[in-house]
Structure 1
């Protein structure tokens, strides 16, 4: 691929659309954009530094934009981003979007991280952005609907990465948490205890609990209970097993405790749920 800039103009107002996308090498001090006096308005901007550096001014702050950093702004808006002469040439990959959904996602990310964020070059967010750029530059796709699908995928990657960033856990911890969740999903029917889970993972149970709570905003045992109830709901709707046996196979040794927990989730007993003619009879329900 080669650096280039692409713009799209159409009358579509009812959905998310790509306004423009570009890959640029900037070494001219004339490169400067002020959010308050641009002729093009009504869109949001994401710009990622591939190499070199630029600067952005917002909220009475002046922030350097080195490799791996990006900013999110609205047009119009009270900000200014620019290349400073004699700095390392600034290589950027950027995307401008229009639509209410883009503004909504911008609000969520700005509230979570602020206007300047950091992402690795091989992160899903930047990989998705390259995919969108490649679709335009190499495949020559310009259909607004196909580009909108890719833009939605990219925004979901942005939102997920922002929420993951808010969890503030290392890659090693992510691996541990992934293994913990895999273990609980695979063994929800077993009498798992916190001690047993921590022992299987080879970690201190108190450290594990703190880490899990920080990253997932729930406790390990609450996560395990969610998986057990999910399994019980599916089993009640898709098998003729006695309710007590369903509870046992889903990790609830006590029928009374199974009934109590099930009521907390579904506002009815397991028997009532099985017998009730639901307007929307799901075969499975997932809690996240």
Structure 2
């Protein structure tokens, strides 16, 4: 077992998973075949039993940024990992999915197209909130990496949002092209890519923070329409006509400033209203679906379950049971 795997084993407090995955490790030319593990507490030895994790050269440890593990993974609900005291840094890009991060005594709900950058010597916990979670994960290290981490964490928030065409994602994907032997050339290339990746996510986050106080008027108007008129049918064409704005630019700007698409924003709003109606009224699921603008009840149930991992009735029963206990 590699040095990193031993350190990771000592650091993982719990790992509860129902998943299929395909691991990529540096220096491994073939992709590990997908496998399924039923929902259970599993050891890290089981989790990594088919994996190959390289040992970086002394040169890389002393002078470069280096990978300790690199993987593309899909998780299915339920999935939880809890760990601390690992001398490594975690960089995780979520392509699609929603999960809860517990870190530094705070909790964050994080979704599509986002990066988290964490110091794994601190306690951290990741809990999947939806049915599927597609993400790419790196454990990385290096003599000066804490400097980048401190820059990233400058505002106290350990994550940032991005768009699929962002340079950060392009750079991340390039890392998967270098799964060769640990030659000095490959280690230098990886270190250069990691430097670019860390720089890009820091710049993305700083730009995002600087723009957060400024939202264009047409986006504010669109947010108001979707927030207050969520029972209506909205399309990009209808919104474009109402706001007198190019629909492609409208969609792009909305994603840039709100960090989700207009349809996802509308669905989130409808689901929040649905949750309130489930808890405060005796309306049937059909009635609630109609009252939030969704005529197809099975579609509403599907959306609700994707949003909460529960059906509407399960959500109502679970919340009612919890309130009875307190």
Q: TM-score scaled by structure 1?
A: 0.50
The answer as to whether partners of 1:112 and 1:162 remain within 8 angstroms in 2 is no
Within 2, Cα distance between the matches of 1:8 and 1:161?
30
Match of 1:33 among 82, 106, 114: 82
Kindly report which structure 2 residues correspond to 1:67-82, keeping only aligned pairs within 5 A, or say none.
67-82=112-127
Give the RMSD, CA atoms, in angstroms: 2.7
User: In the alignment, which of 121, 140, 145 is matched to residue 164 of structure 2?
Assistant: 121
Contact 1:4-1:23 within 8 A present in 2 as well:
yes
| Matching residue of 1:136 | 178
TM-score by length of 2: 0.45
| 1: CA distance, partners of 2:187 / 2:153 | 26
Please give the alpha-carbon distance, in whole angstroms, between the structure 2 residues aligned to 1:19 and 1:77.
18
Name the structure with the higher strand share. 2
C-alpha displacement of 1:11? 4.3
Equivalent of 2:142, from 80, 87, 99? 99
Q: Deviations over 1:198-237 (max 9, x none)?
A: xxxxxxxxxxxxxxxxxxxxxxxxxxxxxxxxxxxxxxxx
2:56 to 4, 10, 23: 10
Relative to structure 1, the CA distance from residue 155 to residue 116 in structure 2 (aligned partners, 3 Å threshold; closer, same or farther) is closer
Specify the SS of the correspondent of 1:70.
strand
Residue 112 of structure 2 aligns to a residue whose secondary structure is coil
Give the Cα separation in 1 of the matches to 2:103 and 2:117: 11
Cα distance in 1 for partners of 2:181, 2:193 equals: 11
Superposition deviation, residue 101 in structure 1: 2.1
Partners of 1:113 and 1:166 within 8 A in 2: no
Show the counterpart of 1:89.
132
Partner of 1:263 in structure 2?
A: none
Shift of 1:157: 1.5
Contact persistence 1:58–1:80 (CA under 8 A): yes
Q: Is the 8 A contact 2:66 2:190 kept in 1?
A: yes
- Which residue in 2 is equivalent to 1:145? 188
Whole-angstrom CA distance in 2 between matches of 1:66 and 1:30? 15
Give the match's secondary structure for 2:191.
helix
Deviations 1:50-99 (A, max 9, x none): 11222211233322221122211112112212324xx2211111222111
| SS of alignment partner, residue 8 of structure 1 | coil
SS at structure 2 position matched to 1:72: strand
- Please give the alpha-carbon distance, in whole angstroms, between the structure 1 residues aligned to 2:22 and 2:163: 20
Shift of residue 28 of structure 1? 5.0
CA distance in 1, matches of 2:111, 2:131: 10
Residue-pair matches, total:
163
Residues 144, 33 of structure 1: alpha-carbon distance in 2 compared, 3 angstrom cutoff = farther
Q: Is the 8 A contact 2:77 2:131 kept in 1?
A: no
What is the distance in 2 between the residues matched to 1:144 and 1:99? 12
Change (3 A) 1:116 1:159: closer
Secondary structure (helix, strand or coil) at the match of 1:62 reads strand
Q: Distance in 2 between matches of 1:52 and 1:123?
A: 18
Gaps of at least 5 residues in structure 1 are 173-288
Q: Which residue of 2 aligns with 1:51?
A: 96
For structure 2, the residue ranges without an aligned partner over 5 or more in a row are: 1-20, 26-52, 217-326
Are the equivalent residues in 1 in contact too, given 2:65–2:143 (CA < 8 A)?
yes
Trace 1:158-237 onto structure 2 (pairs within 5 A): 158-168=201-211
CA distance in structure 1 between the aligned counterparts of 2:160 and 2:178, rounded to whole angstroms: 25
Cα 1:30–1:130 shift into 2, 3 Å: same
